[in-house]
Amino acid sequence: MKQLKALAALITALAIAGLFSGCAGSSDATPDITAESESPYEQGEDGAAEGEVLTGAYIRVGTLRGPTGMGMASLMDRAEEGFTDNLYAFTVAGAPEEITAGLISGSLDIAAIPANLASVLYNRTDGEVMMIAVNTLGVLFVLDSTGEISSIEDLRGKTINATGQGAIPEYALEHILRGNGMEPGIDVEIVYKTEHSELAALMVSGDASIGMLPQPFVTTVTMQNSDISIALDLTAEWEAVNPGFGLVQGSIVVRTEFLERNPDAVELFLRDHAESVAYVNSNPEEAAQLMERFDIIPAAVALGAIPNSSIVHIDGVQMRLLVDAFLQVMYEANPQSVGGSTPDEKFFFIR
């Protein structure tokens, strides 16, 4: 914990610099995730109350608005109704650094964060956090109002407006362009905007004609301007350049100390999350209402965004294979984006 707390200033600085900005929307509300929460369970090494054997534990879970949190909507509902063996307390935040603060302070036990940020935390804290699942694959799309873009090659000689400079969106876009024989800044001009909402507004107003945005901003833009359509799915374009492994954007991590004390509870969480993701993908109308209720995303936007948000639950060996390959690409783009080196096998919780 001393190392995690010592890392707080560093992570904050890097977050401000944009290293970890991925696909979370900005928010004026900053939830209180640094205050300690008291557990209704008196936990021992096995997560059990004194004199009582429990199947679950009290778990403080942090997640983000947007695709990273969408898969948890059903779990939040079930937990609120008391239908889970674990007792959950959820925090929904607007930016990765807010969730990171909870991990650093120890006021969160499990959290959904960008995959590269998970690697950074692992490397900079000597393994005090571990990845337990992938929860979001690619959610990046190229939008077009000109009608001229139907392939990556059509971007040659064009200007793309984008967000996520210094983070996964930039590295993914540049990797895809290079894989198709185009050099960013030479064959394709990329103009970065600071906020997803800024670029979305420019596209809706017609002041930007070609733009790369993540869900749910893609759905918001196409709902507000019928002249704009999805031209390219960058997840498909990534897979065309990288056969055999996908674009990984969101992950779920656990504090290693919590995992060691409560392995059964973490197993139960993984089961709960997998069931929640399955429900969200199979019942979009009901899930959209839950997302609005839990302040993850408005229902009208969620309904259109769910099919294109790559909400998944991938754990175990498959998680490791996907993430290892993805982080290697991020490392080659910028070693600091993954914390200076790709993590070793101890980074992954595999049953």
Q: What is the CATH number of the domain that holds 189?
A: 3.40.190.10
Residue 142 β-bridge partners: 212, 232
From CA 51, how far away is CA 32, in angstroms rounded? 33
Domain with 148 in it: 140-241
From CA 76, how far away is CA 320, in angstroms rounded? 26
Query: Does 122 share its domain with 160?
Result: no
Query: Does 290 share its domain with 302?
Result: yes
pLDDT in tens, 36-53: 344 433 343 444 444 444
8 A C-beta contact, residue 319 and residue 104: no
CB atoms within 10 A of CB 131: 24
Can you say how many angstroms the Cα of residue 294 is from the centroid of all Cα atoms in its chain?
Answer: 17
From 241, 258, 284, give the residue that closes a domain. 241
Query: Does 256 share its domain with 109?
Result: yes
Query: Does 25 share its domain with 68?
Result: yes
pLDDT in tens, 110-161: 999 999 999 999 998 889 999 999 999 999 999 999 999 999 999 999 999 9
Query: Does 123 share its domain with 261?
Result: yes
Query: Does 19 share its domain with 9?
Result: yes
pLDDT in tens, 163-193: 999 889 999 999 999 999 999 999 999 999 9
Residue 284 has pLDDT above 50, yes or no: yes
> Going by C-beta distance under 8 Å and a sequence separation of 6 or more, which residues neighbour residue 289?
299
CA distances to 39, 155, 171, 183 from 191, in Å: 47, 13, 14, 14
8 A C-beta contact, residue 163 and residue 200: no
8 A C-beta contact, residue 90 and residue 330: no
